[in-house]
Structure 1
Amino acid sequence: MKEIIETDAAPAAVGAYSQATANGDLVFTAGQIPMTPDGELLADADIDVQTERALDNLVAVLAEAGTTPSDVCKVTVFLADIDDFEEMNRTYADYFDEEPPARSAVQAGALPKGVGVEIEAIAVRE
């Protein structure tokens, strides 16, 4: 049965979606953007700052679901500009340094609210 995951430690959903859903052991997060839990958008910040905020949001949603970054099996990173990959990757590595999950990173045509990065994950909880 589907379970809805919500936390005040990450930005609230602003549309017809949940921060995450779970079904049994699987947790699926929505894409997390560089927005603070109180709604401050960091779209004009450098990509490392944007990546850190998006990953902090992701970690908060995962924690609410009873998981941690070490439980993540797959991550998808959407970049507004693929030339930001190296800088994003340096910050990303701080969150997934040991036994990192599988990952795809793609340039998207446009991201919500004009941000430079959006990150989603699939985790397994035990």
Structure 2
Amino acid sequence: MTQRDVVFPPGRQALYDRNHYSPAIRSNGFLFVSGQVGSREDGSPEPDLEAQVRRAFDNLNSILKAAGSRFDDVIDVTVFMVDPQSTFETIWKVVPEYWGQAPYPTLTAVGVTWLYGFDFEIKVIARQTEQANQ
């Protein structure tokens, strides 16, 4: 079996080890990032929704940076929102702070009933530059 090329952001490996998954995997020029939530360092949810969304993006960006990428390299986004009818406006007020300029990545938004105590999760696929793969 081929060894997975795992990317760990600094300071959070214990959280991923405890939950038995990898934050991101490099494969064939792409970076597949696990869903990121607005968790504090200990894994607990950020209670304020806007702060939770910002922290989810910050957690995502730390993984992208560890892989030698940035949000501009993201090509596909999936977001999960608990109760999107009541949370969408608040969430989408924060997203442009991190999204960057057009052209934007593709997006799928999914309404869910449960996210392990969180209200927002973002998972992405990013292209890896030649420099990032070296």
Shared fold, TM over 0.5: yes
RMSD, aligned CA: 1.7
One-letter amino acid of the structure 1 residue matched with residue 9 of structure 2: T
- Residues matched between the structures, number: 123
Percent identity, aligned pairs only, is 28
One-letter amino acid of the structure 2 residue matched with residue 72 of structure 1: V
Q: 1:30 aligns with which of 15, 34, 38?
A: 34
Counterpart contact for 2:72–2:100, Cα < 8 Å: no
One-letter amino acid of the structure 1 residue matched with residue 57 of structure 2: L
Show the counterpart of 1:101.
Answer: 105
Secondary structure at the residue paired with 2:36?
Answer: coil
Show the counterpart of 1:120.
Answer: 123
Q: Which moved more, 1:3-12 or 1:19-28?
A: 3-12
Counterpart contact for 1:9–1:60, Cα < 8 Å: no
CA distance in 2, matches of 1:116, 1:20: 21
Secondary structure at the residue paired with 1:8?
Answer: coil
Show the counterpart of 2:132.
Answer: none
Question: Which TM-score applies when normalising by structure 1?
Answer: 0.88
Give the superposition deviation at 1:20. Answer: 0.5
Give the superposition deviation at 1:85. Answer: 1.2
CA distance in 2, matches of 1:15, 1:51: 21
One-letter amino acid of the structure 2 residue matched with residue 6 of structure 1: F
| Runs of 4+ displaced beyond 6 Å | none
Greater helix share, structure number: 2
1:29-61, Cα deviation, whole Å (9 max, x unpaired): 11111112x21523421x211100000000000
CA distance in 2, matches of 1:118, 1:56: 12
1:2-47, Cα deviation, whole Å (9 max, x unpaired): 31111225573132210100113100111111112x21523421x2
Q: Which moved more, 1:115-124 or 1:95-104?
A: 95-104
Q: 1:20 aligns with which of 12, 20, 24?
A: 24
Give the superposition deviation at 1:121. Answer: 0.6
- Please tell me whether Structure 1 or Structure 2 has the larger radius of gyration of its CA atoms: 2
Q: 1:81 to 1:43 in 2, by over 3 A?
A: farther
One-letter amino acid of the structure 2 residue matched with residue 18 of structure 1: S
Q: 1:88 to 1:65 in 2, by over 3 A?
A: same
Q: 1:10 to 1:54 in 2, by over 3 A?
A: farther
Gapped runs of 5+ residues in structure 1? none
Show the counterpart of 2:82.
Answer: 80
